Amino acid sequence: MQQPNFPFDIRDVEEHDNEELSKYFLGVGKANIQVGPKKYLLISEYKNEAANIYNMPVRSDDIFIVTYPRSGTTWTQEIVWLLASDLDYYTAANTPLQARSVFIEFSMIMHKEFLDKMKKVHAGKEENLKALDVVSTPGTVQVATMPSPRIIKTHLPMTLLPPTLLDTCKVVYVARDPRDVAVSFYHLTSSFQSFNFTGDFKTYWGLFVKDLMYWSPFFDHLKEAWEMRHHPNMMFLFYEELTQNLSATVKRVAEFLGKEYTAEQFDELCTHLKFDNFKKNPSVGIDNLKELGIMAQKGEFIRKGKSGGWRDYFDEDMTREAEEWIDKNLKDTDMRFPAV
């Protein structure tokens, strides 16, 4: 099925795969679709916004942060927002990052079945119901009212974003070793009740390498951006660059955005962004989602911020499978993940 004003087919996931997904993702159930020739796996609510996102008006001073989930997105949002906003720490501390940098397809995660369930849970609690309305408002509606410069977050691949994007505004793309991505995404989808993954990590990894994970195929997502990395409006970063040399990487982002700051200002910014400080920063957390029951109270949105932690989760067979899978997918490209 093709949506009006949207060039890609949207189809239901094949029944066998849908059964497997619904077995482990109890929150999403069978509400799964695949989009375009690469079969990007998304939640069916995406159909309502596909054309709106693809055709959204883009401003010349917009900055899009594009990542596969759990690749350092939130960290990058805070970096970019502060650099673009003249290091306005006061506003950053007093305005949630979710409002400063809208996640354009978040309403997809708030799929109808889950949203109806949440509204019943909060029946009679007007403030909570208003909060649910806010988080389920389509991202294109939210960003249309944002003042410039807009910092817009998305996990959609480049092909599903406005085709004029790179020729109009700047894009920061962040990639991360898929083994660390899988571990972090496993914890998130186990805590996010709209996904509610109930299997163990080995099961999760098995779905991940079969591209049966939301926003997958993982490597197609990365390769689309990698092929555009030489465009003057594209900055392609590896998460490992942030963990290994935060200061140098932040300065590169500043240069890309055309921003100049003193050495002292960069030192202050990097202290603010140091992961231990960042993790404790309430404005970048999602406590509001925990209060609404969208995320489990015990869940951690910002976890450890380290590279190479996957080794604590992979047995020998999984490690060998991962190496073969990565090598196979990178053999026709010069993209390589930084060693950690």
Note the pLDDT tens digit of each residue in 271-327.
999 877 777 777 776 666 777 777 765 645 444 566 788 999 999 999 999 999 999
Please choose, from the candidates 277, 279, 212, the residue with its C-alpha nearest in 3D space to the C-alpha of residue 32. 212
Contact 155/149 with Cβ under 8 angstroms?
no
Beta strand spans in 21-147 (E): 32-35, 40-43, 63-67
Q: What is the DSSP string of 117-183?
A: HHHHHTTT-HHHHHHHHHHTS-HHHHHHTPPSSPEEEE-S-GGGS-TTHHHHSEEEEEE--HHHHHH
Residue 234 pLDDT grade (very low, low, confident, very high; cuts 50, 70, 90):
very high
Q: Is 41 helix (H, G, I), strand (E, B) or coil?
A: strand
Residue 177 pLDDT grade (very low, low, confident, very high; cuts 50, 70, 90):
very high
- Mean pLDDT to the nearest integer, 245-261: 97
What's the pLDDT score for residue 299?
47
Q: Which domains does the chain have, with CATH numbers?
A: 49-330 (3.40.50.300)
CA 73 to each of CA 45, 306, 328: distance values in angstroms, whole numbers, following the listed order = 22, 14, 26
b/e map of 108-132 (b: 16 or more CB within 10 Å)? bbbbeebbeebeeebeeeeebeebb
What's the pLDDT score for residue 155?
98
Predicted TM-score (pTM) above 0.75: yes
Residue 225 scores a pLDDT above 90: yes
What's the pLDDT score for residue 116?
87
Task: Please write the tens of the pLDDT for every residue from 93-136.
Answer: 999 888 899 999 999 988 888 888 888 988 988 888 888 888 88
For residues 288 and 46, the model is more confident at 46
Residue 174 scores a pLDDT above 70: yes
Q: Is 302 helix (H, G, I), strand (E, B) or coil?
A: coil
> What's the whole-number average pLDDT of the chain?
92
What's the pLDDT score for residue 60?
98
Contact 38/217 with Cβ under 8 angstroms?
yes
